[in-house]
Amino acid sequence: MHTHMEDYDYDAIREVGKVSYEALQYSRKVVKEGRRILEIAEEIEKFIKDRGFEMAFPANISINENAAHYTPTADDPYVLEGDETIKIDIGARKDSYLGDCALTIDLSEEYSKLVEASEEALESAISMVKAGRPVNEIGREIAKVAESRGFRPIRNLGGHGVDKMDLHASVFIPNFDNGDTTKLEEGQVIAIEPFLTDGEGLVGDGEHLQIFQKTRDAIPRSNDLRSISEFIDERYRTYPFALRWLQKDLGAGEFKIRRTLNELAGMDAIEAFPVLVEKKKGMVAQSEAEMIVQKEGCDILTK
């Protein structure tokens, strides 16, 4: 179950939501044709850190058919050409409170209907939120909006509960009616994130793998890898981190870090988040907001 309300600091989560949202709006200024996505990610992350917050997870800059989990490599050469549809998904963290919000920026200007449909699906979904609402009804609403606009919801992605220290907690909020009648509860913090596509409506794992999360205590056998593992424990604990962060923080080469991560993965102590790619390479738009479930309605945190 999610954290009980009495030990949940709603002021802290409001603060985190506000900064996450401000960073999301700031991303509109930095996502421009001719810019390296590495610089964009670093500037968004710096925006959050300069306000005294940590990152809940690395800035996701997922382009076109990539739906989620693309964060740049340490020397990512990708420069925006001006014909992309870009999902920015970010969150700030303070103590154990996590923000999460996303928007889509369509530089191509060819997919404005898809982007608008994802925003409309989010608004419709938010209007459904209240204590006692079964999650499949929210999913049904998202799919209804998507399909009425000629698009498909991505069925194997969805929203989620947000707990202390746990970004993908307890409840799953589908983007279609998946038959799950789990009810939302008053005081629960949730994120709703419609992903819409003109493709098949499913994502699979792509090759790009830059985001990791230590899931339990484990120490690599070899000494030279142990120090990297200890650094992860100390610096990132059980929060997601980017490979480029480790390379920068440690001044270590990618090969040695990957060896450490592979060894930890072999011990079942690391979760990896590969980029998620639409199955038919369809275009993807995403909109996401975080909110507190109330008796009647909700309190939006990312505004």
Amino acid at 159: G
Pairing status of strand 289-294 against strand 284-286: unpaired
The catalytic residue among 141, 263, 288, 290 is: 288
* Cα separation, 210 vs 204, whole angstroms: 16
The catalytic residue among 100, 263, 278, 290 is: 100
The catalytic residue among 15, 45, 76, 89 is: 89
160 is catalytic: yes
Are 125 and 194 within 8 A, CB to CB? yes
The catalytic residue among 119, 193, 263, 278 is: 193
Q: What angle do CA 209, 210, 211 make, to 5 degrees?
A: 105
The catalytic residue among 84, 160, 208, 278 is: 160
The catalytic residue among 168, 185, 186, 200 is: 168
288 is catalytic: yes
166 is catalytic: no
100 is catalytic: yes
For residue 26, give Cα distances in angstroms to 22, 157, 166.
Answer: 6, 26, 25
193 is catalytic: yes
Active site residues: 89, 100, 160, 168, 193, 288
